[in-house]
Structure 1
Amino acid sequence: MPRATTEKFSRAHQPAVKKKDAQSSGSMTNPIFNTARFGQHILKNPATAQKIVDAANLKPTDKVMEVGPGTGNLTVKILEKAKHVTAIEMDPRMAAEVIKRVQGTPDQRKLEVIIGDFVKVDMPYFEVCISNTPYQISSPLVFRLLSHRPLFRVAILMFQREFALRLVARPGTSLWSRLSANVQLYAKVDNIINVSRNDFRPPPQVESSVIRLVPIDPPPPVKFEEFDGMNRIIFSRPNKTVRGNFQAKGVMKMLEQNRSTWLAVQEMAIDDDRPINKMVDDVLSELTFAENRASKMDIDDLLKMLAAFHGVGIHFS
């Protein structure tokens, strides 16, 4: 795993810098803030940074994973309260800046930097995750965290506001979506801070929000691929009826293939000669969900429907 200490660090997943790019960066007044290629915006407001760290309720024994530390404005505040911080940073220039800020201080021993792409590197053990998340990895970050074991205690995550609002949306609201349902199956999510674009350097084009994500422990015994596969169908048009979404082109063929594969793996003979479309329709009718709309169905409704489909051998992955 590519790692860095305060004395030495190595580079991973880092494309070679072209001579022209290097010359261009060198001509800038402060090249450390030329972060466009990584989609990163540096949080510059110390009051906002303090609110984010306070929201984590850190303990002196906590090991923290920070994603996208930038120049370390959050990192130094986390180090004041936590036992150890592992910061994962894509940009070696930023990593060097974070390391520089703690060199020669007691916090130097408490910091480790991993240089690389968060979606590729191995995650360390941690109890708390704090992230000023590069927008392009928002969804991968959330689901990578939720699949991580052992479970962490809490994650305090900054996202583009629209994405954050979808994470915390409730059934029946305009933002309730496949993303909302998939995340809320495995975690409790709250919106805790709204952050102005002016709190960043350079300012992003959108406003941001900070959410608190607490994994459900123990996690529900539901295979994510199955739950997400069903949601992919019914949320394709969330305001259309569930029956209507199952009638979309290609859905029945996929379900028929999945059922045949499942029966073969289970070494079971076909004991139900109903056409797949009739099986689906019967399940939805028995649940009285046929005319429901995904936009108004809660987690319990979705789990009940998934269990009923599994009961007749219909699977989604």
Structure 2
Amino acid sequence: MPKIKAEKKSRVHNEVAKQGIMFNKSFGQHILKNPLIITSMLDKSALRSTDVVLEIGPGTGNMTVKILERVKKVIACEIDPRLVAELQKRVQGTPFQPKLQIMVGDVLKTELPFFDICVANIPYQISSPLVFKLLLHRPFFRCAVLMFQREFAHRLVAKPGDKLYCRLSINTQLLARVDLLMKVGKNNFRPPPKVESSVVRIEPKNPPPPINFKEWDGLTRIAFVRKNKTLAAAFKQTATLITLDKNYKVHCSVNNIEIPADFDIKAKVENILVKLNLDQKRARTMDIDDFMQALHGFNSEGIHFS
């Protein structure tokens, strides 16, 4: 038995060694090796020959080369200099070379240029911040077809009342239409990750909802800290009340509003929630309209979240 295990392990090592690269776990490097899945992702992106495509984490370029066949330009953002060298080697002396621009560095810290479509097998540990970096990027892009850990993908599309419904779900759905496209098993990667994956299509809402996203994010952060509790309970947290009190006093001073000597932020927040009929609502069952109503109700009374 141990012999079979050892043989299997050495086969995996030979596979990776053939490529000349040991993958870096801290970067979440799992190279998508199945060409059928790559083709399917590109088909679902509806690429046009005039498109500029952003690819995040191109790895050794299996997907990059396929995209280059179909579009005007690919901007590949890669953090690992060894993989950058591999990618450059792969296109050198081919007609693809002038169509490929490589940005070396951490995509979360990089100012992204204009692009029409984003296609990527995302390193899973940057999934959430990356989704919002893309959705708040301007000018708007047409859509993104992205591979995520399966549970994360299900959170993106979860509806009020679903077990996985969370702040990520509602914040994403405020800014975009999200669809699950397909499941991808772990054996389609080298090395295989510990979890299954899914591909998601994200299409930004253009124009975006007429809402200050920082304010919205601040409100949903409070509501979803304990998503099964009522809003009345969520807003009783001492740290929350201290922040809202400070924000209210700034609002009053900027607008020359006098604050009564007996002002009590806790009572004010409770009154607003009761007036809006939201005090007994729970974040896990609230939809976008409920949160819009809450945000408008609080803002109109001078209570701000950012």
Whether the TM-score (by the shorter chain) exceeds 0.5 is yes
Is 1:74 matched with 2:81?
no
- From 78, 86, 91, the counterpart of 1:97: 86
Q: Distance in 1 between matches of 2:69 and 2:262?
A: 65
Q: Distance in 2 between matches of 1:302 and 1:59?
A: 37
Is 1:210 matched with 2:199?
yes
Q: Distance in 2 between matches of 1:144 and 1:294?
A: 24
Q: Deviations over 1:7-35 (max 9, x none)?
A: xxxxxxxxxxxxxxxxxx9xx83441422
Residue 95 of structure 1: CA displacement? 1.3
Q: Distance in 2 between matches of 1:165 and 1:266?
A: 43
Q: Deviations over 1:167-223 (max 9, x none)?
A: 111111111111111111111111111111100000001111111110000111211
Partner of 1:191: 180
Q: Distance in 1 between matches of 2:112 and 2:290?
A: 34
Is 1:115 matched with 2:125?
no
SS of the residue aligned with 1:87? Answer: strand
Q: Distance in 2 between matches of 1:56 and 1:268?
A: 52
When the two structures are superposed, what TM-score results if normalisation uses the length of structure 1? 0.88
Q: Distance in 2 between matches of 1:97 and 1:86?
A: 16
Q: Distance in 2 between matches of 1:111 and 1:134?
A: 21
Partner of 2:164: 175
Q: Where do 5+ consecutive residues of structure 2 fail to align? A: 1-12
Verify the 8 A CA contact 1:263 1:270 in the aligned structure 2. yes
SS of the residue aligned with 2:96? Answer: helix
Q: Distance in 2 between matches of 1:267 and 1:232?
A: 29
Partner of 2:117: 128
- From 269, 280, 301, the counterpart of 1:291: 280
Q: Deviations over 1:109-132 (max 9, x none)?
A: 111111111011221110101111
Q: Deviations over 1:117-148 (max 9, x none)?
A: 10112211101011111111111111111111
Partner of 1:55: 44
Within 5 Å, give how 1:263-302 maps onto structure 2. 263-270=252-259, 274-302=263-291
Q: Deviations over 1:236-269 (max 9, x none)?
A: 1111111111112322121111100122223333
Partner of 2:30: 41
> What is the RMSD computed on CA atoms of the aligned residues?
1.6
Residue 156 of structure 1: CA displacement? 0.7
Q: Where do 5+ consecutive residues of structure 1 fail to align? A: 1-24
The one-letter code of the counterpart of 2:163 is S
Partner of 1:3: none
Verify the 8 A CA contact 2:28 2:123 in the aligned structure 1. yes
Partner of 1:29: 17
Partner of 2:129: 140
Partner of 2:305: 316
- From 203, 208, 211, the counterpart of 1:219: 208
Verify the 8 A CA contact 1:41 1:204 in the aligned structure 2. yes
Q: Distance in 2 between matches of 1:143 and 1:34?
A: 27
Q: Distance in 2 between matches of 1:265 and 1:174?
A: 42
Partner of 1:244: 233
Q: Deviations over 1:28-74 (max 9, x none)?
A: 83441422231110000000111111111001110001000001111
Q: How many residue pairs get matched? A: 291
When the two structures are superposed, what TM-score results if normalisation uses the length of structure 2? 0.91
SS of the residue aligned with 2:233? Answer: helix
Partner of 2:145: 156
Which structure shows the bigger proportion of residues in helix conformation? 2
SS of the residue aligned with 2:108? Answer: coil
Q: Distance in 2 between matches of 1:173 and 1:154?
A: 25
Q: Distance in 1 between matches of 2:266 and 2:49?
A: 57
SS of the residue aligned with 2:238? Answer: coil
From the superposition, tell whether residues 187 and 271 of structure 1 become closer, same or farther in structure 2 (CA, over 3 Å).
Answer: farther
Of the structure 1 ranges 39-48 and 267-276, higher mean CA displacement relative to structure 2 is found in 267-276
Verify the 8 A CA contact 2:23 2:30 in the aligned structure 1. no
The one-letter code of the counterpart of 1:29 is A
Q: Distance in 1 between matches of 2:260 and 2:112?
A: 45
Q: Distance in 1 between matches of 2:246 and 2:236?
A: 16
Q: Distance in 2 between matches of 1:290 and 1:263?
A: 25
Is 1:166 matched with 2:155?
yes
Verify the 8 A CA contact 1:33 1:202 in the aligned structure 2. no
